[in-house]
Structure 1
Amino acid sequence: MIKNFFEYLKNPVSTDDPEIFTFKIYFKLIVLGYLLVFMSSIFVAIIRTFNVLPHYFNPKIDSLKGIDSIFFFLFVILVGPLIEEILCRLNLKITKLNIAVFFAVLIPVIIKLIFFRAFHLYFYLSSLPLFIGIYYAINRFGFASDKIEIFVKSKFKYVFHLSAIVFGMIHLTNYDTIYWWMIVIIPLLTAPYISMGYLFGYVRMKYGFVNGFLMHSTVNFISVLLVMTKHFIHFLQ
């Protein structure tokens, strides 16, 4: 499994038919994911010892303190992973449906990032009417999705790597402040997320979008569970 993963990264290809996703494969990929995160987090851990990094907003930790912790817990393990998978990996396979879903989610996310920092559910609920309008327009005005599909397939190796790198780099915005030197070493600071981006991308292409989302959701769930356990132990002490 590990060998197949790294061989795929050397030459990622777009496939039409997903393979069977067994529990054995699922478990092995979860373990692989945490090994990748551990290895790629070493540099960040070293930098943190010098206390030069600004505060890192970790929703899995910071949001468990409020009265909406249960709601946010569901957001972190369900809604958040779904949004990120749609934005970063859904269009690794181009269809008119996928394009419409992508823009229906992207528009509310951009509005939220520009005007609001806090979570507002109605932004994401607006994705439904947006999707209907965008999907209708794509079909009504003959949007050339086939040309985009041909381009993505012809450049898939670069598109795949770009999706993983972008997924990692957007998490730099979780820092309260971004200094110029952080931009210089952004691949190292976001390496844990980039490595997970590769894993989720691999699952998305080999086993389908739903299983990629399931993998992402599981990783977030385990992370939140570990944080909650840590807080509970601290509370008992």
Structure 2
Amino acid sequence: MMKVSYPLIKPKYYKSLILDLGNFIRHPINELSIKKSTKHKIYDTIGLFFIKVVFSIMVASLLQLVYEPENQTSVSMSERFGSFPLLLIGGMILPIFEEITFRLSLKFRPIYLALTSGTLTYYVITKAIFKSRLSMVDETFWYRIITGFMILLIVYVISSRRFIRQDLQQFWKKHFKLIYYLSCISFAWLHIFNFELNLINLLLLPILTLPQLFSATIAGYTRVAFGFKYPVLLHMITNSLFLSLTLLPLN
């Protein structure tokens, strides 16, 4: 009889995952994992999801004992959308958008860099300049869209030029550790816009965004080691789970 393995129920499996993740965080390498099959990549992605959920719950529980600011983004989306649109936008569309913004160009290609530049522009001007929401269709929406698209085109045209593309490829290869760390920190710290921008929240920024920082390290690892679809899947599952919990009738 063929022996069936279920790694997701084995404690040693999670220990191995944590060690692999820790080694990558200390020494990021911009290479795909060629030793793992698609099945094992899926196993690892699910295992990392469980690890991320446990870590997030632990951090959230500790924060609740001391300080618990309101997540204004979650409240805004819940007020503007019904159950299905909320899960569609928050659980599928926004994860794809954020993974393009923060993880796609961990692997360098002109089109990847252009897409990241365009979506990051939309993200920053939406949050920092117009104090709006990514999914908000208001009087600034088309300005944000057009500005992001123009940046996308400019970056693509410039980075596609042969000598610039070659220089950027060398830069990515030589400074990947810096690029990976910056992607993690920017993803985490830009989530401060989910909260009210008062002095206390700004001082506590590294703590309030600690779950996002941990998520970014995992997403960056899966993007580089397994491919772009894996952090997208991980992000979708995470958002869909937490959004689904907010829809439960707890009263």
Q: TM-score range by the shorter chain?
A: 0.7 to 0.9
Question: 1:200, CA displacement in angstroms?
Answer: 0.8
Paired position in structure 1 for 2:14: none
Residues 1:107 and 2:107 aligned together? no
Q: What is the 5 A alignment of 1:41-190?
A: 41-48=60-67, 54-59=69-74, 61-113=75-127, 114-115=129-130, 117-118=132-133, 119-120=136-137, 122=142, 126=146, 130=150, 133-134=153-154, 137-138=157-158, 142=162, 144-179=164-199, 181-190=200-209
- The alpha-carbon deviation at position 58 of structure 1 amounts to 3.8
Aligned-CA RMSD value? 2.8
Equivalences, count: 226
Structure 1 pair 72/206, CA: closer, same or farther in 2 (3 Å)?
same
SS of match in other structure, 1:158: helix
Displacement, 1:162? 2.1
Q: Percent identity?
A: 21
C-alpha contact 2:30 2:224 (8 A) present in aligned 1? yes
Kindly indicate whether the alpha-carbon contact (under 8 Å) linking 1:108 and 1:123 is maintained by their aligned counterparts in 2: no
In the alignment, structure 2 segments of 5+ residues that lack a partner are: 1-16
Unaligned segments of structure 1, at least 5 residues: none
- Corresponding residue for 1:215? 234
Contact 2:184–2:213 (8 Å) recurs in 1 = yes
Paired residue for 1:2?
Answer: 18
State the distance in 1 between where 2:111 and 2:23 align.
Answer: 30
Return the TM-score normalized by structure 2.
0.77
Q: Partner amino acid for 1:228? A: L
Q: Is the 1:169–1:186 Cα contact (8 Å) retained in structure 2?
A: yes
The C-alpha deviation readout for 1:149-178, integer Å capped at 9, x for no partner, is 222221222221221121111111111232
Q: Classify the secondary structure of the residue corresponding to 1:94.
A: coil
Does the CA contact (< 8 Å) of 1:112 and 1:123 recur in 2? no
